[in-house]
Amino acid sequence: MENNTNLIEALLEKTVDYGKVSLELARLKALDKTTDVASSLVTQMVVVTVLLSFLFFLNFGLAVWLGKLLGEIYFGFFVVAGFYALTTIFIHLFLRKWIKRIAANTIIKQILK
């Protein structure tokens, strides 16, 4: 009888250890995924920041150049702003769902990776 009690106690102890290890493994997997997604986002934010800086200066130069061609500097800025207004309307009307789907798929792939 005492032998059965020792076996049951050992089994319970191993079950508790298994539960603790499983919980720790789940925490580490979650940490791994979170770290992977966060590091990917930081890298992408750096690239986007550099790209936006490039585009800003490119647009500024284009606006000044167009302004000189049109006779007044501010005309160039109006032309560039109008181009972006039309582009925004086009994206909103025709490409919004497509962009949303691509962004959602990218996030899901990153999380499930």
Q: What's the pLDDT tens digit per position in 66-84?
A: 999 999 999 999 999 999 9
pTM of the model: 0.62
Residue 108: is its pLDDT beyond 70?
A: yes
Q: What pLDDT, on a 0 to 100 scale, did the predictor assign at position 4? A: 74
How far is residue 35's CA from residue 111's CA, in Å, rounded to a whole number? 10
H-type alpha helices, the chain: 2-70, 73-90, 96-112
How far is residue 55's CA from residue 62's CA, in Å, rounded to a whole number? 10
Over the stretch 35-62, which tens digit does the pLDDT of each residue have?
888 888 889 899 999 999 999 999 999 9
